[in-house]
Structure 1
Amino acid sequence: MLNQQAPTRARHWVVVFAVTLAVLSYIDRVAISKATPYIMSDLGLTKTQMGRVFSAFALSYALAEIPSGWMGDKLGPRNVLMRIVIWWSVFTASVTMMWNGLSLAINQFLFGAGEAGCFPNLTKTFTTWLPSNERVRAQGIMWMSARWGGAFTPILCALIFTILPWRAAFLIFACLGVIWAVFFFRWFRDDPKDHPSVNAAELALLSENRGLAGSHGDVPWRKLLSNRSVWLLWIQYFLITYPWYFYITWLSTYIREYYGVKDEMLSARYAICPLLLGGIGCILSGLMLPRIAKLLGSTTKARRVLASSGFLGASAFLLICIQQKDPLYGMLAMGMASFCNDLVMPCAWGSCMDIGGKYAGTLSGSMNMMGNMAGFVAPQVGGIILDATRTTATPQGDYNMFIYTMAAAYFLGAFCWPFIDPTKPLEQSEAH
């Protein structure tokens, strides 16, 4: 009988696939940050030009978010994820063949178009494969893994750079993406009921998700665009992503130039702090939210309190970072800013699942689009500030001026969350 049958745990493999892909996506995008000094030297790029290269990735990433999220809702994440991972792996490998700033910017634009589909489609898989009480925790685990993948990429790259040319790192990372795509496509199914490893008891656990796995291309755009919570989710994600892009673009150059750390391995160890502590913030947030909700008697209040506190804490720690002259204390302060930044992440992505329902792929894609529009702006603003503020005393430019703009973005983000209703569905899914 059903009540005597233990549920299988096939859904946990979905989390494993999500975690490994999140790690690979961050390895691929952080690698170029660590290789920046070599790339600038080999291709003869200024900081303004390199800022445009970083921004090219973010622009295409932003523009492709809604289409790739919609494709996941319409076609299912199995086909979409397999194709986009192979796509971005090709352009990870082709970084090695670029010859000037324009070619590299085009490469990164095409690379970003592929990576854009990653997290909206993984969010879609969580919405269909996990019961509601497991989703936010899974988001926390996934984002922690993504951050930690990015955190250790500088050390991984530094090790590779000591024995191989910098271009070799990109070829290795591209191969890993192709391997993931093959295994995922063979194992995954868009609907849990179609998977041979899922028994009746596990399907019963997922009964609330019936109807979420089918084709849902008829997105209610009018409701989405007229929803206050949706707009505020977009705004807060723009504001949280603007400073965060520093951690995956200019960070290695900042440690090298601002603190004068020339040793590759030492620089890489300092660069671990923001994404490592950010990952801890992700998982801690995912674990804390149910307890805070129980304490406050409301999931809505819990997300509002934790997300607002994260924004304010991140702003404060960046101001502390500016005052530090020792790289250890400076990176610890910036790491704590990233920790507070990532307290917000499960709140935001969990809200996309709850508000979006069967349109979670499209809504999360639209939120990530707005965030990566900030990613388009931030590296260029940084490059322009650094080139414009170069003096004899500060030939590298004024990094603190850039960091002040980041602290201001965090501060403003705190004022979005009190007005977001993070658990009210955009449209109720009908049982089929």
Structure 2
Amino acid sequence: MESALQPSRTRYGVIVFAVLLGIIHYIDRVCISKARPFIQHDLGLDDTQMGYVFSAFTLAYALFEIPGGWLGDKWGPRRVLLRVVMFWSVFTAATGYAWNLASMTVCRFLFGAGEAGGFPNIAKMFSVWLPQREHGVAQGITWLAARWGGAFTPLLVVWVLGFVSWRMTFVIFAGLGVIWAVCFYVWFRDNPKDHKGVNAAECELLEEAQKNLSGGHASIPWKRLLTTKSVLLLWLYYFCISYVWYFYITWMPKYMELKLQMDMKDTWTSILNGLPLFLGGIGCFLGGVVARRMAAKSGSLSKARRTLGVLGMLAAGGMIVLATLMKNPVYAMLALGFSGFFNDLSMPGAWGACMEVGGKLAGSVSGSMNMVGNLGGALGGVAVPWLMNLMNQSWDKVLYVAAFTYVIAAVCWMFIDSDDRLEE
């Protein structure tokens, strides 16, 4: 009788699967930065060529975001996530078999095309399986796991490399995605009502979310995307923060080695290398929780997200500038770590805004934001060596450019309103 009166908690299973996928997503993505010296040595790649490899992934990831999210809106996350996770796992393994610049670039491009469908379909899944009040916290938990997956990847890669080659490391990590995809397909259903673990009370709790079920549109809603102010501002904001954030997972080890004179083989250095992602994960979680509490007091979730967004972006830029002033390398890394923390305070709000602005088109809106953001990341991959050459090998000036992009992102958050509705 109790189960008939109280909502079941099956919906939280989707958060568990999202958390695991976020971890796998970032392990597969970040491991190449730690394997970079071995890859460059074995394949004979210079820094500019390695920048092309980094950007091949990011470019594909950006280009396939909207198609990946749109397919989730049309077919549902169950079918789409099975296919994209299996696809990117194949090319994670294939990375370990690359033999020159061309083959490595192709593998990373196709890997990025597969990973592009991940987070937009998580957002789509949440929009159907969770009531609106739980969106921000669920996104915060997911991004916490994703960031921490990336933060601990350097240590994980160092440990795995102690047993196998860098090539076999990619093959091992690919297996994680295959296992996830099979388990997810067996457990998940696009409609919560079709899951045997969801009782009538939980279905009633999710009644409002049922309007976000997949189907009902045949093409990508470009006109709606391009004429909704908050969508355009979310695009620019995500472009700016992704430009900076990709520095942490691509060129950070090089910066630590050359500018901060740190030994990249040292365990403590590997821990510091993951600090922006580790603290960023905490920022993701707190961003979702704090916005919800601020909204309870002010009555406006949109205003709470806007406040956290503006303050977070300005603080993130300030921490980068502070890092350039630090003579002690540990203090410099702590400053960059807290830049990652403040960067990610706004993440749950941004993804939550995509879900609510998009409604039934949550996958397309989320994908569009992530697409434009990763174009910024792709630019960052090739811009760092270019800026270094332009600015007389000055790492400080490269970081000043990064800090300025946070100012632009802060301006965007002043005008983002998650109460906008794309369908209207």
Q: Do both proteins adopt the same fold according to a TM-score greater than 0.5, normalized to the shorter chain?
A: yes
Q: How does 1:372-387 map to 2 (within 5 A)?
A: 372-387=374-389
Q: Say if 2:423 is the partner of 1:422.
A: no
CA–CA separation in structure 1 for the residues paired with 2:382 and 2:58? 11
Q: How does 1:305-320 map to 2 (within 5 A)?
A: 305-320=307-322
Amino acid at match of 1:341: N
| C-alpha deviation, 1:370, in angstroms | 0.4
Counterpart for residue 284 of structure 2: 282
Q: Say if 2:50 is the partner of 1:54.
A: no
Counterpart for residue 397 of structure 2: 401
| C-alpha deviation, 1:160, in angstroms | 1.4
Query: SS where residue 212 of structure 2 aligns?
Result: coil
Q: Please say if residues 287 and 346 of structure 2, whose CA atoms lie closer than 8 Å, have aligned partners that are also in contact.
A: yes
Query: SS where residue 163 of structure 1 aligns?
Result: coil
Q: Please say if residues 314 and 407 of structure 1, whose CA atoms lie closer than 8 Å, have aligned partners that are also in contact.
A: yes
| C-alpha deviation, 1:7, in angstroms | 1.3
Q: How does 1:156-305 map to 2 (within 5 A)?
A: 156-218=156-218, 220-262=221-263, 263-305=265-307
Deviations 1:223-261 (A, max 9, x none): 321111111111111111110111111112222222222
Query: SS where residue 210 of structure 1 aligns?
Result: helix
Deviations 1:242-289 (A, max 9, x none): 101111111122222222222342321111210000000000011100
The runs of at least 4 consecutive aligned structure 1 residues that moved more than 2 Å come to: 1-4, 216-224, 294-297, 385-390
Counterpart for residue 28 of structure 1: 28
Q: Please say if residues 300 and 422 of structure 1, whose CA atoms lie closer than 8 Å, have aligned partners that are also in contact.
A: yes
Percent identity, please: 50
| C-alpha deviation, 1:389, in angstroms | 5.3
Q: Please say if residues 47 and 384 of structure 1, whose CA atoms lie closer than 8 Å, have aligned partners that are also in contact.
A: no
Q: Please say if residues 92 and 170 of structure 1, whose CA atoms lie closer than 8 Å, have aligned partners that are also in contact.
A: yes
Deviations 1:345-396 (A, max 9, x none): 0111010011000100000000000000001100100122235556xxxxxx
CA–CA separation in structure 2 for the residues paired with 1:286 and 1:2? 31
Q: Please say if residues 145 and 279 of structure 1, whose CA atoms lie closer than 8 Å, have aligned partners that are also in contact.
A: yes
CA–CA separation in structure 2 for the residues paired with 1:317 and 1:173? 33
CA–CA separation in structure 2 for the residues paired with 1:31 and 1:266? 17
| C-alpha deviation, 1:296, in angstroms | 2.8
> Where does structure 2 lack aligned partners over 5 or more consecutive residues?
none
Deviates more, 1:148-157 or 1:380-389: 380-389
> Where does structure 1 lack aligned partners over 5 or more consecutive residues?
391-396
| C-alpha deviation, 1:220, in angstroms | 4.2
CA–CA separation in structure 1 for the residues paired with 2:327 and 2:353? 39
| C-alpha deviation, 1:292, in angstroms | 1.2
Q: How much is the aligned-residue C-alpha RMSD, in angstroms?
A: 1.5
| C-alpha deviation, 1:419, in angstroms | 1.4
Counterpart for residue 367 of structure 2: 365
Counterpart for residue 93 of structure 2: 93
Q: Please say if residues 357 and 418 of structure 2, whose CA atoms lie closer than 8 Å, have aligned partners that are also in contact.
A: yes
CA–CA separation in structure 2 for the residues paired with 1:161 and 1:257? 23
Deviations 1:119-155 (A, max 9, x none): 0000000000001111110000000100000000000
Amino acid at match of 1:233: L
| C-alpha deviation, 1:3, in angstroms | 9.4
Q: Please say if residues 158 and 264 of structure 1, whose CA atoms lie closer than 8 Å, have aligned partners that are also in contact.
A: no
Q: Please say if residues 136 and 292 of structure 2, whose CA atoms lie closer than 8 Å, have aligned partners that are also in contact.
A: no
Deviations 1:98-121 (A, max 9, x none): 112222111111100000000000
CA–CA separation in structure 1 for the residues paired with 2:101 and 2:326? 33
Structure 1 pair 233–187 and aligned structure 2 pair: CA distance change class (3 A) = same
CA–CA separation in structure 1 for the residues paired with 2:94 and 2:125? 29
